[in-house]
A and B are shown apart, each in its own frame.
Chain A
Amino acid sequence: MTTILETDGERLLVAVRALLADKGIASMAEIAERIAITDRASPAQGARMVARAWTDPEYRALMLQDGARAAEAMGVPMRGAPPLGVLENTEAVHNLVVCTLCSCYPRAVLGYPPFWFKSAAYRARAVRDPRGLLAEWGTVLPETMKVRIVDSTADYRWMVLPRRPEGTDGWSAEQLAAIVREGDMIGVTVPTA
């Protein structure tokens, strides 16, 4: 007899799906819907939220108060996803998100975490030497600016609302969204025009 770890993945998937359906835990349609949602999730979703927050003060307020509702307002399905908190970078504070315990990540709005986010080096150094780590990303912050390292340890997921860069006056939300990268929303980088 083979163990679950040796079982062919396809056969295992078919068996688990059938069990979930038999036990009334999740239907085939629900599983298919969830896979489709996961596949659609990408940093482009978060970037659209950031661009709207930069151009719409009311939306920015909603995003900072309840990230999940702000995501839903942009058509990102959040049912079943953990609560989403949004941390705003300001002149005084720069936020950096890490999960030292594993790889907690706001997948609903940023998609799969980049490989380095899960690395032991990033997880250890983000909390121990945040400014050294940021400098390696080319992000050098003024000495007077506070770095707030957010260790995502529990039920929340966190994303950063970066500062809108100089030289983007009059840009459309689409133009703005195009310059927002995943690193900007984790806090290792800052967007530039």
Chain B
Amino acid sequence: MTSGDFAPGASVRVRDDWPETRGPVHIRTPHYVRGKPGRVVRRLGEYPNPEDLAFARPAPRVPLYHVAFDPAAIWPDAKGGDELLIEIYAHWLEASP
């Protein structure tokens, strides 16, 4: 597997990165899952990177994944057993042991 390839079921973590603190950006990764653990559910295809598209830069295609998160791992008052399902681009995900 090359970097950015995740199989369904893979444990991942969203990068704890805050590019918006460094300058103008357009990011499709919500704040509340930065640095949080998740599980890849399925690959949703490849799309031109919106972070480049928004600034009319050449936009390489990047894989997009549906990633499931446990809300209780994000908010202490969340009800156990529920699930958050979010589209996250491959370059925002890192493998998690």
Residues of A within 8 A of B47 (CB): 154-155
- B87 in complex: contacting residue of A148, A149, A152, CB < 8 Å: A152
- A155 in complex: contacting residue of B32, B45, B82, B83, CB < 8 Å: B45
Interface size of A by Cβ–Cβ distance < 8 Å?
Answer: 19
Assembled-state Cα–Cα distance A100/B27 (Å): 12
Closest Cβ–Cβ distance, residue B60 to chain A (whole Å): 14
- A151 in complex: contacting residue of B78, B81, B82, B85, CB < 8 Å: B85
- B45 in complex: contacting residue of A83, A128, A146, A147, CB < 8 Å: A83
Residues of A within 8 A of B44 (CB): 83, 85, 154-156
Q: How large is the interface on B (under 10, 10 to 19, 20 to 34, 35 or more residues)?
A: 20 to 34
Residues of B within 8 A of A153 (CB): 28-30, 86-88
What sequence of 0s and 1s flags, for each residue 72-89 of chain B, a beta carbon within 8 Å of any chain A beta carbon? 000100110111111111
With an 8 A cutoff between CB atoms, is B12 at the interface? no
Given A101-B28, A154-B28, A155-B64: A146 and B82 within 8 A (CB)?
A: yes
With an 8 A cutoff between CB atoms, is A150 at the interface? yes
Which residues from 129 to 152 on chain A have a C-beta closer than 8 Å to any C-beta of chain B? 130-131, 146-152
With an 8 A cutoff between CB atoms, is A76 at the interface? no
Q: Which A residues form the contact surface with B (CB < 8 A)?
A: 83, 85, 100-101, 127-128, 130-131, 146-156
